[in-house]
């Protein structure tokens, strides 16, 4: 059950061109760069048809070639996961996920999550938005037993990886001490992604040195999350990891749509988040998408407005302006979602994540007076989690802030949001607001499901298949060919390289 004040909203009226009483230069600019209310109204019939198409795609067992690949399993997954957990409890996929997460939480102080793209961005978004901003620096007591979380396997930066290995080597000395043990969650649907596979081999070698090659901890504290078949599942079996400890990414869910599979739910549970609230939020959003009319349907609204801005108004750059610093990784997750889903056939908007008001002091000038190729979606949180930080009085007033002594940081934020949107309006720069009542598992679940559903709808509106990412495979193929062409080091030099000489 979702209460009205828990629901997220998308308000876009500010980027609709008003009917001017008389001609003015601003009215002319707004007519050129905003949307007409009539055009948005004309979209309703098409949107209902596309919604029906997306809903029908959930049931297709053998989709026609023109729809392939089709990976619509994410749409109903949150509710199906909750239903299975209610029926089967610990025997369900969510039950297994929670059990494995509990084992990691109870037996480690650090967990390294290995994955790239959709295999880690969702988990990173959940960590940054819902955990304490200084989580890894807090003592164990203030973390309430939740492990420190690190992300790797998402790059090819030798030094960054080596420095995380050094941290583990120098802070984890005694494997019999729970406060010094560490574990690995390795996420790869195929198991063949080079960045993650290479990192897993490296971190597993470090783990062998720490625990000993025959230690039972190796089998208990490594958790693979992978597809029903593939290299990682085969490797886990060869390493003696029990089948029930290998969590599965469904075949009908693509990587960038997988945050509500064990890809995101296992890390979330290890972090101590309420995964059922996440799923309830996502399921509530799916229900709104399928049942609510356009006026109360943020999925259809977001998809329609951004589709029209991209395809008809020439706004090829889509800025996610995030007014809550902790949500920045939500923006990075959406960058990948949009880019891989709709960046095809020489089309698709280019996403940019900005954190306001921070980036108003860098990109803000370009957004305000630069090329008119942008639509700005403000991501705004209505209510802060903590008590307001007051500016307060001071003995020295050279900064002239005593006049604002009774104002708080949320007051300054509200003034900045209003002032920025006013400036955009006066310069005919289109912007809309995506409003969260607060930052919680329930609202973040709604938000992420809304953006996934809107991306699929936008793809269908544009006749672009929102599933699959054929362009990504090109670099992988070339990388493997180039890697094979590199001559092997002689054995002595390999040993020196391993030792860091």
Domain boundaries, the chain: 4-68+292-470, 77-273
Report whether pLDDT(499) > 60: no
pLDDT score recorded for residue 479: 83
Q: What are phi and psi of 91, to 5 degrees?
A: -80, -10
Report whether pLDDT(12) > 80: yes
Among 155, 385, 418, 476, the one annotated catalytic: 476
**Same fold for the pair 4-68+292-470 and 77-273:** yes
pLDDT score recorded for residue 315: 97
Report whether pLDDT(501) > 90: no
pLDDT band at 5 (very low <50, low <70, confident <90, very high): low
Least confident of 239-243, 389-393, 424-428, 471-475: 471-475
Least confident of 21-35, 94-108, 154-168, 292-306: 21-35
Among 66, 141, 214, 361, the one annotated catalytic: 361
Catalytic: 418?
no
Q: Could you report the per-residue pLDDT of 430-485, keeping only the tens digit for each?
A: 999 999 999 999 999 999 999 999 999 999 999 999 998 887 777 888 888 888 88
Give CA separation, 359 vs 15, 158, 366, 411, 500, in Å. 22, 29, 10, 19, 39
pLDDT score recorded for residue 472: 75
pLDDT score recorded for residue 86: 97
Among 195, 340, 441, 458, the one annotated catalytic: 340
Mean pLDDT of 192-217: 94
Q: What is the DSSP string of 253-307?
A: B-GGG-TTSHHHHHHHHHTT--HHHHHHHHHHHHHHHHHS-GGG-HHHHHHHHHH
pLDDT score recorded for residue 75: 98
pLDDT score recorded for residue 500: 55
Give CA separation, 158 vs 155, 162, 163, 192, 198, in Å. 9, 6, 9, 20, 11
Burial code (b: 16+ CB inside 10 Å, e: under 16) for 319-356 equals bbbbbbebbbbbbbbbbbbbbbbbbbeeebbebbbbbb
Give CA separation, 143 vs 149, 181, 381, in Å. 11, 16, 25
In sequence order, which residues have a C-beta less than 8 Å from that of residue 65 and are 6 or more positions away?
Answer: none
Report whether pLDDT(323) > 90: yes
Q: What pairs with residue 185 in β-bridges? A: 113, 223
Helical ranges in 312-440 per DSSP H: 328-342, 364-369, 409-426
Q: In what order do the strands lie in the sheet with 182-187?
A: 148-152, 110-114, 182-187, 222-226, 247-248
In sequence order, which residues have a C-beta less than 8 Å from that of residue 272 and are 6 or more positions away?
Answer: 105, 131, 144, 145, 146
Q: Could you tell me which CATH class the domain 77-273 is placed in?
A: alpha beta
Report whether pLDDT(332) > 90: yes
CA atoms within 13 A on the CB side of 496: 6
What number does CATH give the domain 4-68+292-470?
3.40.50.10490
User: Average pLDDT of the chain?
Assistant: 94
pLDDT band at 4 (very low <50, low <70, confident <90, very high): very low
Catalytic: 476?
yes
| CA–centroid distance for 102 within its chain | 23
Give CA separation, 370 vs 28, 344, 366, 378, 461, in Å. 18, 26, 4, 18, 29
pLDDT score recorded for residue 1: 42
């Amino acid at each position: 059950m979702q209460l009205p004040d828990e629901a997220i909203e998308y308000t876009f009226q500010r980027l609709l061109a008003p009917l001017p009483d008389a001609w003015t230069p601003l009215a002319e600019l707004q007519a050129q760069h905003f949307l007409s209310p009539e055009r948005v109204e004309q979209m309703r019939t098409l949107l209902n048809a596309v919604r029906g198409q997306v809903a029908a795609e959930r049931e297709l067992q053998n989709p026609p070639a023109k729809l392939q690949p089709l990976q619509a399993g994410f749409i109903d997954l949150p509710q199906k996961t909750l239903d299975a957990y209610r029926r089967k409890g610990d025997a369900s996929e969510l039950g297994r996920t929670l059990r494995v997460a509990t084992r990691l939480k109870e037996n480690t102080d650090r967990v390294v999550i290995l994955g790239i793209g959709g295999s880690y961005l969702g988990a990173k978004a959940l960590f940054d938005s819902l955990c304490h901003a200084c989580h890894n620096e807090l003592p164990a007591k203030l973390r309430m037993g939740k492990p420190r979380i690190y992300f790797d396997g998402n790059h090819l930066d030798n030094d960054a990886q080596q420095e995380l290995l050094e941290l583990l080597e120098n802070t984890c000395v005694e494997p019999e001490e729970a406060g010094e043990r560490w574990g690995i969650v390795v996420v790869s649907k195929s198991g063949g992604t080079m960045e993650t596979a290479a990192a897993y081999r490296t971190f597993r070698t470090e783990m062998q040195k720490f625990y000993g090659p025959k230690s039972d901890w190796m089998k208990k504290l490594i958790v693979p999350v992978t597809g029903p078949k593939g290299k990682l599942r085969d490797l886990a079996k060869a390493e003696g990891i029990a089948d029930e400890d290998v969590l599965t990414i469904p075949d009908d869910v693509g990587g960038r749509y997988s945050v509500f599979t064990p890809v995101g739910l296992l890390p979330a549970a290890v972090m101590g988040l309420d995964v059922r609230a996440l799923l309830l939020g996502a399921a509530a959003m799916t229900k709104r998408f399928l049942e609510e009319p356009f006026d109360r349907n943020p999925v259809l609204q977001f998809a329609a407005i951004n589709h029209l801005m991209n395809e008809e108004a020439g706004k090829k750059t889509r800025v996610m302006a995030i007014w809550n610093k902790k949500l920045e990784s939500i923006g990075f997750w959406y960058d990948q979602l949009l880019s891989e889903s709709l960046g095809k056939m020489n089309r698709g908007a280019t996403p940019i994540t900005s954190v306001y008001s921070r980036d108003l002091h860098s990109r803000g000038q370009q957004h305000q007076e630069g090329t008119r190729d942008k639509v700005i979606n403000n991501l705004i949180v209505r209510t802060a989690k903590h008590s307001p930080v007051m500016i307060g009085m001071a003995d020295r007033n050279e900064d002239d802030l005593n006049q604002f002594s009774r104002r708080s940081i949320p007051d300054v934020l509200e003034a900045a949001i209003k002032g920025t949107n006013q400036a955009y309006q006066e310069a005919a720069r289109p912007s809309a607001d995506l409003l969260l009542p607060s930052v919680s598992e329930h609202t973040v679940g709604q938000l992420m499901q809304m953006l996934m559903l809107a991306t699929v709808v936008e793809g269908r509106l544009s006749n672009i298949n929102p599933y699959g990412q054929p362009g990504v495979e090109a670099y992988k193929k070339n990388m493997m060919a180039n890697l094979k062409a590199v001559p092997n080091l002689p054995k002595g030099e390999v040993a020196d390289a391993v030792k860091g000489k």
